Amino acid sequence: MDPKTAELRIRQLRETINGHNYKYYVLAQPSISDFEYDTLMNELIMLEAAFPEFNDPASPSQRVGSDINRNFEQLPHAYPMLSLGNTYSRQELADFHNRVVKSLQEDVQYVCELKYDGASISLTYENGRLVQALTRGDGEKGDNVIDNVKTIRSIPLQLKGEDYPEKFVIRGEIFLPHEGFEKMNREREEAGDPLFANPRNAAAGTLKIQNPRLVARRPLDCFLYFLLGDKLPFGSHYDNLQKAKEWGFKIPAYMQVCKSIDEVYTFIDHWDTARKKLPFDIDGVVIKVNSYAQQRKLGFTAKTPRWAISYKFRAEQALTRLLSIDYQVGRTGAITPVANLEPVKLAGTTVKRASLHNADQIALLDIRLDDYVYIEKGGEIIPKVVGVEKSKRSLFSQPVEYITVCPECNTPLKRKEGEAKHYCPNENGCPPQIKGRIEHFVSRRAMDIGLAEATIEQLYNHGLIGNQADLYNIKKEDLINLERFAEKSAENLVKSIIKSKEVPFERVLFALGIRYVGETVAKKLARHFKSIDNLQYAGIDELMAVEEIGEKIAESIIQFFRDVRNQLMVEKLKDAGVCFSIKENEEEKTGNQLQGKIFVISGVFTKFSRDELKDLIEKYGGKNAGSISSKTDYVVAGENMGPAKLQKAQELGIPVIDENDFLKLLE
């Protein structure tokens, strides 16, 4: 291809991809499949690599991120990025309104918006192009995280139309939707990483990752909610936001112009209840004077604007007594302190235990035994301790001394630099770590062996198993004399262990519990290396050549196979007949009838197991997803499908099909 033709095609591809990004990430109205989109993007990346003279920082190819680590440059904000005053009180909100009216001596309109729980960002555009992205920092200057921000597909790199100001700033909130947050935590759990506490921390932490390619893998989103500049099209906040929507910005629909303080109260009351149905977190409502002229007249205090305030919702809390603290050891050795509480009702359930997260959190809140503590449900799900009622504290209470040795094996704990958790390093001698790895190995998505946690405990305590490979030495006569085992149950367990030898290589690899190797990574490694022998002796460069395998995963794999005990375990599993290579008929797809289609499986089926359905989807070119979203093409429903999933599918207009309909798609 000659340069002139290449330049024309590159421009066409950029325009087409930008259009699809806008439809998908801003309007939530995708018009092509993921496969078609990826084909366009791959063509663009190849052409830009072949013709570097046409490189453009605003190209949509920049969204995939690069592997270059860069320290963030601190730059000044063109307009100070001040915090808003907060209130939980209706009276203080009324006082704010009275001050505004008294200062202006004229009618006032407010714009009410939701207060998104994420990381604030300030974007600068020049001639329609994104040129800077600053975090809040200290309000006067912030970190320029533009390379990371470019990976967020709902943020335009090049604006639509031509009627935007030559230079302006738009501010908003970068956040993680619930669905993306839950997926990230599932993947971290599979990899043995500590879970993120909440979407806000995960979003803020992601924005500060030095490697943009890692940021690109996380499903960040962004709402924009405030424009600043000298030549904005309108004199009111609301009208400018509606105009910004035409330029391609993702402006939230959850806002309202209110002509009285009573309308503001109505907006607050509505969202205090309705927020529970939102697919992202909010923690209140922001109230802003609509008119820019009135904003200028009202001005600022030293720290906050006088023309805006945030009303924060109270999280549902309960007060109860802290009886004791347990220290749990996970399969990776991570120590998690857990509070044992006097039972108390919270958000419709009885809470007896709550997370204390880590030593830093205990010290920060100054938590002590027998304290009365406030608990709330983080993200409305996981109970956590958030405060102490010190007026009820005993005069003789003492600060908690965090443990220094493992509660299970007495090994001195270690704390890695930059991590909040303490770890027990005795991975091959600490019982909870050993049993945790066996529990992972037998789990349904791994080897699918019918072993409950209590049975693993029993087998371990009787010396029948010391690692995963020992399972394949178990005989029926070993089990019959154990408690809860009869001849039939012993026979069933042995059959289940034998059947697990049919589990395909990719699931066996996941079952080994190599840190950072979750289901998706295991699948990519299995399909690339074809056998455990090829993987075991691969160097770091070979490993990093595999799609989505970064340095951290590669080093973890090398470290796993370097351990002699792991080598012996793998050899024992091989001798037992466990599948450690891809069979020829597994390598090729059966067909492409489902190419680019995304499926969600729900319910119980008669012709197939759920895993068999998922395998069929992948063999015919489709993709499996764990939850329903606007990206889903079909929901395959069996008996006892959850009503919430059915309702969501109906709301989004996604076809719900049964097994027979699914088979017709394969014809």
Which of these, 94, 492, 503, lies nearest to 265 by C-alpha position?
94
Please pick, among 4, 23, 102, 115, the residue that the annotation labels catalytic: 115
What is d(CA 597, CA 28) in angstroms, rounded to the nearest whole number?
Answer: 16
d(CA 25, CA 30): 8
Q: Looking at the domain assignment, is residue 412 inside a domain?
A: no
Q: What confidence score (pLDDT) does residue 277 get?
A: 86
* C-alpha span between 384 and 110 (Å, rounded): 36
Residue 265 placed within a domain: yes
Is residue 400 in some structural domain?
no
Look-up of token digits 């929901």: 635
Instruction: State phi, psi for 482 to the nearest 5 degrees.
Output: -85, 155
Claim to verify: residue 272 and residue 340 sit in the same structural domain: no
Strand pairing category for 308-312 and 86-87: parallel
- Check which CATH number belongs to the domain holding 38 and give it: 1.10.287.610
Query: Which of these three, 64, 83, 104, is where a domain ends?
Result: 64
Helix (H) or strand (E) holding 521: helix 519-529
Beta bridge mates, 581? 531
> Does one domain contain both 384 and 331?
yes
Tokens representing residue 246 in the block: 């035409």
Question: How much is the pLDDT for 281?
Answer: 87
Q: Which residues, in sequence order, are CB contacts of 161 under 8 Å at separation 6+? A: 246, 247
- CA dist., res. 383 & res. 337, Å (int): 13
Question: What Cα–Cα distance (Å) separates residue 496 from each residue in 428, 476, 583, 584?
Answer: 26, 12, 22, 25
Sheet containing 255-258, strands listed edge to edge, beginning at the edge strand earlier in sequence: 86-87, 308-312, 282-289, 110-116, 255-258
pLDDT at 30: 66
Domain hosting residue 620, numbered range: 591-665
Q: How far apart are CA 261 and CA 258, in angstroms?
A: 7
Told to judge if 631 belongs to the known catalytic residues of this protein, a careful annotator would answer: no
The answer to whether 351 and 294 are in contact (CB under 8 A) is no
How far apart (Å, rounded) are the C-alpha atoms in residues 536 and 378? 41
DSSP 224: E
- Whether 402 maps to a domain, the answer reads no
Same domain, 377 and 296: no
Residues 335 and 306 in one domain: no
- Measure the CA–CA gap between 581 and 506, rounded to whole angstroms: 8
Q: Report the distance separating Cα 368 and Cα 325, nearest Å.
A: 10
Residues 510 and 567 in one domain: yes
User: CATH number of the domain that 650 lies in?
Assistant: 3.40.50.10190
Shared-domain flag, residues 565 and 436: yes
Laid out side by side, the sheet with 656-657 consists of 623-625, 598-602, 634-637, 656-657
* Residue spans of beta strands (DSSP E) within 294-359: 308-312, 317-329, 335-346, 349-355
Domain membership flag for residue 418: no
Is residue 414 included in any domain, yes or no? no
Beta bridge partners of 168: 125
Alpha carbon dihedral 288, 290, 295, 298, in 10-degree steps, equals -70
Query: Are 284 and 333 part of one and the same domain?
Result: no
Residues 633 and 533 placed together within one structural domain of the fold: no
Strand bridging mode 598-602 / 623-625: parallel
Dihedrals phi, psi of 171, to nearest 5 degrees: -115, 155
CA distance 604 to 176: 31
pLDDT of 64? 57
Whether 198 is in a domain gets the answer yes
pLDDT of residue 422: 93
Residue 552: CATH number of its domain? 1.10.150.20
Residues in the chain: 667
Same domain for 513 and 563: yes
Tokens of 280: 């992202």
Is residue 553 located within the same domain as residue 614?
no
Sign of CA dihedral 321, 327, 330, 332: positive
Of 314, 251, 257, 313, residue with least CA distance to 287: 257
Cβ atoms of residues 143 and 74 within 8 Å: yes
Q: Which of 264, 280, 312 is the last residue of a domain?
A: 312
pLDDT < 50: residue spans in the chain: 66-69, 379-380
Rounded to whole angstroms, the maximal C-alpha distance in the chain is: 91
Q: Cα–Cα distance between 196 and 175 in angstroms, integer?
A: 14
Q: Count other Cβ atoms within 10 Å, centred on residue 653.
A: 7
Cα distance between the two ends of the chain: 39
In this structure, are strands 73-76 and 141-144 parallel, antiparallel, or unpaired?
Answer: antiparallel
Distance CA 290, CA 307 (A): 9
Q: What is the number of domains present in the chain?
A: 5
Encode pLDDT of 172-217 as tens digits.
999 999 888 888 888 777 766 667 767 887 888 888 887 888 888 8
Q: Is residue 499 domain-shared with residue 600, that is, in the same domain?
A: no
pLDDT in tens, 94-143: 999 999 999 999 999 999 999 998 899 999 999 999 999 999 887 888 88
The residue among 553, 585, 617 that closes a domain is 585
Same domain, 151 and 187: yes
423 is a domain residue = no
The confidence score (pLDDT) of residue 67 equals 41
Those residues with Cβ within 8 angstroms of residue 405's Cβ, 6 or more apart along the chain or in another chain? 411, 412, 413
